[in-house]
Amino acid sequence: MAQLKPISLDRFAEAREEAYVVLARLMAQLAPGEHVVRLGVTVDGQERPLTATLPLTVEGEGTPDDLVGAEEKYLDNLAFLLACGLAQPLSYGVMYLRSPSGREGGPASVIQAWHLAYGTLNECSAAEAAELVGGGEPDTGFADAFGVHSEDEAEGEAVYPPVAYTVL
């Protein structure tokens, strides 16, 4: 059984805040369509990862005014698991986003991935995403991921897009 290292409540609060910033940055990049975010986190000594899935629906014209919908229970579960991974220095995992590709003649969906290690989500190249996630599904391509962490305190407020988020 995995033994978590003790962390302060302040550290967890910071990790929780960063988790929501990460999700806001991710949602701000989404084009209209159905998307799925999956996260697997393993703590040092744990055999199987804990997982969370967040289905997202984006309605609109591909502008900052698009409406992003998520069920609250799935959003809270993924944010909590991500906060745990960000707070625990001996955790690791993978978060990936499956989105419709929107390209004629291309794959139906595209995957972008981030590798969680030492409390940070690092963006993966398309090749790294293919290696981490695997190519088990037909008609799926991979793309380079974008940065999801806040750069500094001053930028933190500008991260949230002027989007109306809904709870389904």
In this predicted model, what pLDDT tens digit does every residue of 40-89 receive, in sequence order?
A: 999 877 889 999 999 999 998 888 788 899 999 999 999 999 999 999 88
pLDDT level of residue 134 (50, 70, 90 thresholds): confident
pLDDT number for residue 36: 97
For the stretch 26-40, pLDDT in tens is 998 999 999 999 999
CB 35 within 8 A of CB 98: yes
Tally Cβ neighbours within 10 Å of residue 95.
Answer: 28
What span, in angstroms and rounded, lies between the C-alpha atoms of 134 and 106?
18
More confident of the two residues 160 and 168 = 168
What span, in angstroms and rounded, lies between the C-alpha atoms of 65 and 47?
42
